[in-house]
């Protein structure tokens, strides 16, 4: 399990909180509680996305894949390399692949996938795909910088009671 960062970068904290607010919005809309945003190096939010798995009836409707679709339509590979994807929870392997293929250069997240499994009560088994995003990115031929997981209480709280 990746070590939790002891101090959240002051540039990342408001973005992480906004990603968690997007997760809360997704939950309020009847979807799974995940949110993501795309920001530039100065911290300006360029795009946001929520999980839409339930409402769109699309298992690929994760917040990060929804964001990658929007970002790829708006920005070129050179621009995406300088942008930061901020997620309420660690990107799953599918999302990490989409982030990599889009060319996004940096990922920041709060709750780890192991932390999420601890909340959901799921034990790794036939329906689990435990593969940290760092491992997915490490297999690529270009670097993706990863910051996280961060110990952000609201990133855990947004899941409270949802998975029971």
Encode pLDDT of 118-153 as tens digits: 888 765 555 667 899 999 999 999 999 999 999 999
pLDDT greater than 80 at residue 108: yes
Which tens digit of pLDDT belongs to each residue from 70-105? Answer: 999 999 999 999 999 999 999 999 999 999 999 999
Q: How would you class 91 by CB atoms within 10 Å of its CB: exposed for 0-12, middle for 13-18, buried for 19 or more?
A: buried
Q: Which one is catalytic: 50, 64, 90, 113? A: 64
How much is the average pLDDT of 41-64? 97
Q: Which of 33-37, 96-100, 114-118 has the lowest mean pLDDT?
A: 114-118
- What integer pLDDT is reported at residue 7 of this predicted model? 65
| pLDDT confidence tier of residue 13, bands split at 50, 70 and 90 | very high
As a whole number, the mean pLDDT across the chain is 92
Q: Distance from first CA to last CA of the chain, Å, rounded?
A: 24
Give the pair of three-digit tokens for residue 79.
């621009």
The rounded percent of the chain whose pLDDT value lies above 70 is 91
Q: What is the pTM of this model?
A: 0.93
Domains (ranges, CATH) in the chain?
12-158 (3.40.140.10)
pLDDT at 2 > cutoff 70: no
**For residue 8, what pLDDT is reported?**
74
Average pLDDT over residues 4-33: 90
Whether 50 is a known active-site residue: answer no
């Amino acid at each position: 399990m990746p070590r939790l960062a002891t101090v959240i970068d002051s540039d990342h904290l408001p973005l992480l909180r906004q990603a968690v607010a997007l997760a809360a919005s997704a939950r309020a809309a009847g979807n799974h509680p995940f949110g993501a945003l795309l920001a530039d190096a100065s911290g300006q939010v360029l795009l946001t996305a929520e999980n839409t798995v339930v409402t769109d009836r699309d298992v690929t409707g994760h917040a990060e894949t929804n964001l990658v679709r929007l970002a790829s339509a708006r920005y070129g590979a050179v621009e995406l390399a300088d942008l930061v994807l901020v997620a309420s929870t660690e990107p799953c392997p599918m999302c990490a692949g989409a982030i990599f293929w889009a060319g996004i250069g940096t990922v920041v997240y709060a709750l780890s996938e192991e932390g999420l499994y601890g909340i959901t009560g799921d034990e790794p088994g036939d329906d689990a795909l435990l593969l940290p995003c760092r491992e997915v990115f490490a297999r690529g031929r270009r670097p993706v910088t990863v910051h996280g997981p961060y110990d952000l209480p609201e990133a855990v709280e947004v899941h409270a009671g949802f998975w029971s």
